[in-house]
Amino acid sequence: MSDELNPKQQEAAQFKEGIAAVIAVPGSGKTRTMMERIGILVTEYGIAPEHILGLTFTRNAADEMRSRLVPVLGEMSSRVRLSTIHSFCLHLLKVEGKVFEILSGKEQLVFIKNVMKGLKVKDLTVGTVLREISLAKNNIIDPVEFKELFSGDKTMMRIAEIYQAYDEAKEHKLLLDFDDLLLETYFLLRDNDEVRAKYQGSFQSILVDEFQDTNPVQFELLRLLIREEGNDDASSFWVAGDDHQAIYSFTGASVGNILNFQSMFPGSRQFILDLNYRSTPQILAACQNLIRHNVKQIHKELKTDNPDGDDVVVLEASNEETEAMGVVNEIVDLIERRGYQYSDIAVLYRANFQSRYVEEAFLSNKIPYHIQSGRTFYDRYEVKCLLDYLRVIHAPDSDEADEALLNILNVPVRYVSNQVKDQLKEYCRKRGIHLYAGLKSMVITVPYVRKLIREFAAFMDPLIEQSESLEPVQVIQKIRIIWDYDRFIVDEDIPSPDDIKISNINQLQLAAARYSNIAAFLEYADSFTDETVGDDKEGVSLMTVHKAKGLEFAVVFVIGLVEGLMPSGKGNLEEERRICFVAISRAMKLLFVSYPLNYLGQPAKKSQFLDEMLGKRDVDLQKSAA
């Protein structure tokens, strides 16, 4: 069954009982080793598939585990419990009789907004509040402890009030958010001996993938599932991960869980899978050179038996536009001269807003691409709304403006219901007029909605009259100021490092500044709706580094390697270095890294990570640890 595993994989897979951590470098066959281990547990060690629990952190990863277990165990694979940790907790709580509904997504945003409204909180965004509450829960900090921790900090004390009111309101309505699933399961297992014994008895072997992504509550919850010593049956707790790829501290993940594993579990075994099957020696040398600058790490050498390849290519450009054109030129050469396909290639970046220059260069050079798990730049909500404002201002009596108006009536919120929108459409249809004209003449019965619509028209009318002489960048700036647009957009945001909405708006303004009239800019922006170029699954993949984790491509371009972006000015330097490590370790055959000398119109400093990966920078462990 597992004859094809290398000796180190074989040793890790055959671990029989006790506690073990498998530290796996990128491309070292970690998931395969885990699946083969499950096969060995069943066929060699006689453990029933139902007594095996395999956990990971995303639905995609859980689905991949299921599909990869089928060749190993055949029909028996469906009897093994494989799921995300959240799904496992949801199932456990339901089985144990807890009555609740899940609060998530838009409903959660609206719910916490109402809590904040009840407390008359106006100076904090929903995104900020949710992020702080989530981090607290992931660290098992309740509202009382939160207040004690942040005593004297007015902002955090205000958040503590919201946290307490939010929890009380959820409890009253029998609701749990995703963080509560973990917390409630942890409390149940910790405080109820009978339930804890039941689940310890249910799972003779527990396996956890991507262990470096666990947060404190997940770690403590998992500890409670491990069978206590003295149990007659042989049992095991086996985790796999890589501290070099711990890049989710913004969700509360703690790299310390994997770094300190052996001290937290004295007597546990550690296996290191250090043979990389993915990349050339040159790419691995860059990865090794880079990561050796981190102090907090499990030291390991990245090895490979793969043949030599090309050296890492560094592309220097004068600004973001020429950087994108440099990428285009290299891709044209790769396709036309070196026999690569577009689908072999990925362009990775630290933040979503960086895609604009690449998308523009690809479109003008007819290079097909798609945004992995995301939207093209001009289709992002915060960008699209501003473009829709411009559409109405440019040509209010057009079908395009009718559609655009319906999109922006509640941007920001003007309490225009779907019923009112339907009435407006019917009103205009009977009179043969377009929606903006109808909006100004139709009688709106609700006083506060009528007032808000009048304010909207008073803002739009002068701009419509002067539309031919207005520069699009001026109009966007007015919308941002008059309607407090940025606040509205951020307030709707769900915390994420991938979705820097204000930066996207700034990028739109930079693009608009190149055009002297609204019509020309809209024509340009509309060219991105050409789906044959911009949403081609066989095209070049564009994505953030966080989205790329777990993927691999023959050719990888990592762009924007400047100080303040990669590394980000806000993040912990060692985590930023790990993010860069994840980016460059996606490459199999060719790696290109690029940086502009000017960024956002200002002189930029080349990222220190470039010299580090090229071996041109001495290791300063004291500074790195700071």
Q: What is the mean pLDDT of residues 50-56?
A: 94
Q: What is the mean pLDDT of residues 83-105?
A: 94
CATH code: domain 379-526 is 1.10.486.10
State yes or no: is 586 an active-site residue.
Answer: yes
Taking all residues of the chain, what is their mean pLDDT, rounded to a whole number?
A: 90
Structure tokens of 4? Answer: 């094809």
Are 270 and 244 in contact by the 8 Å Cβ rule? The answer is: no
Give the number of other Cβ atoms within 10 Å of residue 279's Cβ: 27
Per residue in 409-436, pLDDT tens? 999 888 898 889 999 999 999 999 999 9
- Determine the straight-line distance between the first and last CA of the chain, rounded to whole angstroms: 47
pLDDT of residue 494 exceeding 60: no
Buried b (16+ CB within 10 A) or exposed e, 70-88: eebbeebbeebbbbbbbeb
**What Å distances lie between residue 381 and 349, 399, 402, CA to CA?**
20, 20, 18
CATH code: domain 282-376+535-625 is 3.40.50.300
Query: Strand, helix or coil at 551?
Result: coil
State yes or no: is 31 an active-site residue.
Answer: yes
Q: How far apart are CA 274 and CA 23, in angstroms?
A: 8
State yes or no: is 30 an active-site residue.
Answer: yes
Identity of the amino acid at 536: D
Question: The domain 7-95+183-275 is classified under which CATH number: 3.40.50.2000, 1.10.287.3510, 3.40.50.300, 2.40.50.140?
Answer: 3.40.50.300
Q: Could you tell me how many residues make up the chain?
A: 626
* 425 contacts: CB under 8 Å, gap ≥ 6: 435
Lowest-confidence pick of 89-103, 131-145, 343-357, 530-544: 530-544
Half-sphere exposure of 97 (CA within 13 A, CB side): 1
Identity of the amino acid at 466: Q
Structure tokens of 130? Answer: 């949710």
Closest CA to 327 of 590, 559, 537, 542: 559
Per residue in 396-408, pLDDT tens? 999 999 999 999 9
Q: Which of 56, 185, 204, 245 is catalytic?
A: 245
pLDDT of residue 616 exceeding 90: no
Q: Which of 30, 356, 480, 549 is catalytic?
A: 30
pLDDT for residue 367? 94
pTM confidence score: 0.84
pLDDT for residue 560? 96
Phi, psi of 620 (to 5 degrees): -115, 90
Task: Considering only the C-alpha atoms of the chain, give the largest distance between any 2 of them, rounded to a whole number of Å.
Answer: 84
pLDDT for residue 491? 65
pLDDT of residue 483 exceeding 80: yes
At residue 437's C-alpha, the angle toward residues 434 and 442, to 5°, is 110
pLDDT of residue 122 exceeding 60: yes
Q: How far apart are CA 581 and CA 505, in angstroms?
A: 29
Q: Which of 36, 177, 184, 209 is catalytic?
A: 209
pLDDT of residue 498 exceeding 50: no
Q: Which of 31, 33, 214, 218 is catalytic?
A: 31
Assess whether the region 7-95+183-275 and the region 379-526 belong to the same CATH fold. Answer: no
pLDDT grade, residue 105 (50/70/90)? confident
Per residue in 438-467, pLDDT tens? 999 999 888 888 999 999 999 999 999 999
pLDDT grade, residue 621 (50/70/90)? low
Residue by residue, DSSP assigns 312-347 as PEEEEESSHHHHHHHHHHHHHHHHHTS---GGGEEE
Residue by residue, DSSP assigns 384-446 as HHHHHHHHHHH-SSSHHHHHHHHHHTTSS-----HHHHHHHHHHHHHHT--HHHHHHHS---S
pLDDT for residue 156? 93
pLDDT for residue 2? 52
At residue 307's C-alpha, the angle toward residues 305 and 312, to 5°, is 110
Where do the domains of the chain lie? 7-95+183-275, 101-173, 282-376+535-625, 379-526
pLDDT of residue 120 exceeding 70: yes
Per residue in 132-189, pLDDT tens? 999 999 999 999 999 999 998 999 999 999 999 999 999 999 999 999 999 999 999 9
pLDDT grade, residue 625 (50/70/90)? very low
Q: Which of 170, 356, 549, 586 is catalytic?
A: 586
Per residue in 59-87, pLDDT tens? 888 888 889 999 998 989 899 999 999 99
Per residue in 334-352, pLDDT tens? 999 999 999 999 999 998 8
**What Å distances lie between residue 560 and 186, 310, 332, 351, 377, CA to CA?**
41, 22, 20, 9, 17
